[in-house]
Amino acid sequence: MPKLSDAAIGKRKDVIEAAACELFITQGFHAASMRDIAKGAEVSLGNLYNYYPTKEAIFESIINGYVKVIDDKLKSIFAQIDEPLDPENLRRLGEMAGKLVNEHSDFWLLMYIDVLEFQNRHFRKMFNGITDRFRKIFAKQFDEAAKRGDLRTGVDPATVFTTAYMQFFNYFLVEKLFGGNRHLGLNDEQALNCLTKIFAYGTLSEEKLAKFKKQANKAMV
Amino acid sequence: MPKLSDAAIGKRKDVIEAAACELFITQGFHAASMRDIAKGAEVSLGNLYNYYPTKEAIFESIINGYVKVIDDKLKSIFAQIDEPLDPENLRRLGEMAGKLVNEHSDFWLLMYIDVLEFQNRHFRKMFNGITDRFRKIFAKQFDEAAKRGDLRTGVDPATVFTTAYMQFFNYFLVEKLFGGNRHLGLNDEQALNCLTKIFAYGTLSEEKLAKFKKQANKAMV
DNA sequence: TAAATAAAAATGAACGTCCGTTTTTTATCA
DNA sequence: TGATAAAAAACGGACGTTCATTTTTATTTA
């Protein structure tokens, strides 16, 4: 048999990784067996080793692929946010965080596996210097907001944005994976409004808030 | 051999659970073997089954014990907070959350095991109705704060408090378990100040804030 | 065009080890 | 001695990985 095309190999790997991921996130890394992965991917046990040297290599490949997917989604989210400190945009950030969590909760389950079984070796970089990354992404907007005096004195826009970002993700993760079940006593819509409000009032200057109140939609205020 | 005293049995169980916990949190539930648990506890493999019917029973016993410990610590934390919406007290809540996370990160690792391998069966109750629990705990204070007009209009004190509570824990968990390493670009002290500030400004009425500013310590404003 | 070739891919049995649990044996002390 | 605890041995099965073998198919040859 001649060598398979890269595309064919890639396709097969996708099938294997989909099966493996499903097992990893439902039972953990060690509890998922190579036999079950093979069965799920409709590949023979031995053939798995033509595609990956070890079980851990499958795990790593899944993560690397997923990190790219999520990174891209995040980039597209940030690209949609022209004015990161505007309450309406903050709220949209929250909305999109919710969508991401609900559509890709696997990603965070893999992260918990990594925390537990690999000391978060594969995901550490996601949190490292996250504030500075936001500072770069929104450098222009943060700068202009500061010049305009949009922010309360002593408030660093990048830190605030990161805090809001983390809070949104944490809210939806608790709801989705930890059995929160309306843990704030609100539905998602209301919770988003509430969180956005806290961050808006918590970080914007009185002048900016006044401006915003004028044009705000009712649900927000 | 005569029957062991309950105290002796309890002591032995503590040793077994300590060894098991150590293994669970470093490698996950399935990767930790009964043989290693026995070795760690200096008990024979077979003898483990005189104390626990199954491996999962060990896990459950660890969790039940830990939940009690953490619940007690939380209760004592809340007992120290006479005025939950006062910025200084919010900050102290954050401090104590940090201490709890750093001293008992095992607890959250066990929670991640539970999320992964048991759909969070054993921990769900921790998040269920958490806001309403705070509403009860601080019923008097929230009521009086509302009467005094301490809060911005439309802000529910219990929700706000829960939000702050979650944010503090999440901050320290990211730092401790997810490789955050000053992910807000601040040290813990500064991060606490920043988070407290956001929540204070985000939720307190202008009058209350003015009052607070007068007597605030410098670091906070 | 059809058969032969050969390298790659796929297979599944086999390996040695370890798993959770059970059973049997031994030790202990009123 | 007799009940109980502890240790040891044994159980069947599952684990990740290896490997000799078979199957597959693009290319070469006739």
B44 touches strand D (CB under 7 A): yes
Q: Is B217 exposed, middle or buried (0-12, 13-18, 19+ CB in 10 A)?
A: exposed
Range of the domain at A187: 66-215
Q: List chain D nucleotides near protein: any atom < 7 Å from a Cβ.
A: 2-10, 14-20, 23-27
Is residue B61 domain-resident? no
Is residue B58 domain-resident? no
CA distance B218 to chain A (A): 12
Q: Domain end: B52, B76, B93, which one?
A: B52
Query: One-letter amino acid identity for B121?
Result: R
Write down the pLDDT at residue B164. Answer: 96
State the nearest residue by CA to the C1' of D10: B46
> Do B131 and A203 lie within an 8 Å CB cutoff?
no
State the nearest residue by CA to the C1' of D18: A46
**Does residue B218 surpass a pLDDT of 60?**
no
**Same-domain pairing of A35 and A81:** no
State whether residue A28 is helix, strand or coil: coil
**Same-domain pairing of A23 and A124:** no
Q: If pLDDT is split at 50, 70 and 90, which confidence band does B35 have?
A: very high
Please give the Cα distance from B10 to B65 (Å, whole number): 12
Residues from chain A that touch B219, judged by Cβ atoms under 8 A, are: none
Is residue B85 domain-resident? yes
Name which of B219, B189, B184, B220 is nearest B86 in CA terms. Answer: B220
Is residue A221 domain-resident? no
Please give the Cα distance from B98 to B185 (Å, whole number): 17
Average pLDDT, chain A: 90
Query: One-letter amino acid identity for A130?
Result: I
Q: What is the DSSP letter of A129?
A: T
Is residue B152 domain-resident? yes
Distances in Å between the alpha carbon of B47 and those of A61, A137, B18, B43? 41, 59, 16, 7
Q: What is the token pair recorded at A93? A: 């950030």
Name which of B146, B175, B174, B173 is nearest B160 in CA terms. Answer: B146
Place of tokens 């968990």: B173
Q: What is the DSSP string of A150-176?
A: -BPTT--HHHHHHHHHHHHHHHHHHHH
Q: What is the token pair recorded at A86? A: 């505007």
**Same-domain pairing of A92 and A126:** yes
Please give the Cα distance from B194 to B87 (Å, whole number): 11
**Same-domain pairing of B75 and B29:** no
For A173-208, what is each residue's pLDDT tens digit?
999 999 899 999 999 999 999 999 988 888 877 777
Of B30, B111, B131, the CB nearest to A184: B131
**Same-domain pairing of B180 and B92:** yes
Is residue A99 domain-resident? yes
Domain count, chain B: 2
Of A27, A152, A221, the CB nearest to B201: A152
Residues from chain B that touch A183, judged by Cβ atoms under 8 A, are: 127-131, 162
For A56-65, what is each residue's pLDDT tens digit?
999 999 999 9
Report how many Cβ contacts below 8 Å link chain A to chain B. Answer: 178
Of all residues in chain A, the one with the smallest CA distance to B135 is A185
- Helices B157-177 and B139-148 pack at an angle, to 10 degrees, of 120
Is residue B77 domain-resident? yes
Q: What is the token pair recorded at A189? A: 């819509």
Write down the pLDDT at residue A221. Answer: 41
Residues from chain B that touch A135, judged by Cβ atoms under 8 A, are: 185
Count the helices and strands in chain A (H runs, E runs): 12, 0
Write down the pLDDT at residue B212. Answer: 65
Please report, to the nearest 10 degrees, the dihedral formed by the alpha carbons of residues B60, B63, B67, B73 taken in order: 150
Write down the pLDDT at residue A2. Answer: 65
Name which of A99, A210, A84 is nearest A139 in CA terms. Answer: A84
Residues whose CB falls within 7 A of nucleic chain C?
A 1-4, 9, 12, 43-47, 50; B 1-2, 30, 32-36, 45-46, 48-49, 53-56
**Same-domain pairing of A127 and A171:** yes
Is residue B60 domain-resident? no
Of all residues in chain A, the one with the smallest CA distance to B174 is A127
Q: Which residues contact B66 (CB under 8 A, 6 or more apart)?
A: B104, B106, B107, B110
**Same-domain pairing of B89 and B12:** no
Please give the Cα distance from B61 to A158 (Å, whole number): 43
Using only C-alpha atoms, what is the Rg of chain B?
21
CA distance B25 to chain A (A): 6
A56 touches strand D (CB under 7 A): yes
**Same-domain pairing of B186 and B150:** yes
A7 touches strand D (CB under 7 A): no
For B89-138, what is each residue's pLDDT tens digit?
999 999 999 999 999 999 999 999 999 888 888 898 999 999 999 999 99
Distances in Å between the alpha carbon of B173 and those of A103, B97, B185? 23, 10, 16
Q: Which residues of B44-80 are buried (b: 16+ CB within 10 A; e: fewer)?
A: eeeebeebbeebeebbbbbbeebbeeeeebbeebbee
Q: Domain end: B52, B78, B95, which one?
A: B52
What are the phi and psi torsion angles at A204 (to 5°)? -90, 150
Which domain CATH number covers A47?
Answer: 1.10.10.60
Q: What is the DSSP string of B132-193?
A: HHHHHHTHHHHHHHHHHT-BPTT--HHHHHHHHHHHHHHHHHHHHHS--SSTTSS-HHHHHH
The answer to whether the CB of B130 falls within 8 A of the CB of B169 is: no
Q: If pLDDT is split at 50, 70 and 90, which confidence band does A212 have?
A: low
**Same-domain pairing of A79 and A178:** yes
Please give the Cα distance from A182 to B124 (Å, whole number): 12
The answer to whether the CB of B175 falls within 8 A of the CB of B181 is: yes
What are the phi and psi torsion angles at B175 (to 5°)? -65, -45
Strand partners, A204: A151
> For residues A207 and B17, which has the higher predicted lDDT (pLDDT)?
B17
Of all residues in chain B, the one with the smallest CA distance to A24 is B116
**Same-domain pairing of B48 and B70:** no
Which domain CATH number covers B168?
Answer: 1.10.357
**Same-domain pairing of B48 and B72:** no
CA distance B9 to chain A (A): 30
- Helices B157-177 and B87-103 pack at an angle, to 10 degrees, of 40
**Same-domain pairing of B7 and B74:** no
Q: What is the token pair recorded at B43? A: 């008990």
**Does residue B214 surpass a pLDDT of 70?**
no
